[in-house]
Amino acid sequence: MNNYKITNLRTNKDYFLNEEETANFFVKNKAQNYDIINLTKVKRIRRNKILDTISFVCFFAVTILTTILIIEKYY
């Protein structure tokens, strides 16, 4: 289930709603007066960036360790 942060553009009031509540909210209010942010998508993107960084660091660590092992074994 997706979670949304809805900000009123005039008053800057924030609402934190799920999908069902968001649908009911926009039945009563016009969407043009609000900024809608999908918090589930933002969280997923943040987690993917962290995992990309971890994999990048691990790749370099493995490369350096492999180089050290090769140097110690053959020289």
- The DSSP 8-state label assigned to residue 31 in this structure reads G
CB 29 within 8 A of CB 4: no
Say how far apart CA 31 and CA 48 lie, in whole Å: 30
Say how far apart CA 17 and CA 15 lie, in whole Å: 6
CB 2 within 8 A of CB 38: yes
Reported as a single tens digit per residue, the pLDDT across 11-32 is 999 999 999 999 999 998 888 8
pTM (2 decimals)? 0.73
Q: Give yes or no for residue 60 having a pLDDT over 90.
A: yes
> What does the angle CA 10 – CA 24 – CA 9 come to, to the nearest 5 degrees?
10
The pLDDT assigned to 69 comes to 96
The DSSP H or E segment spanning 16 is strand 14-18
Reported as a single tens digit per residue, the pLDDT across 24-54 is 999 988 888 999 999 999 999 999 999 999 9
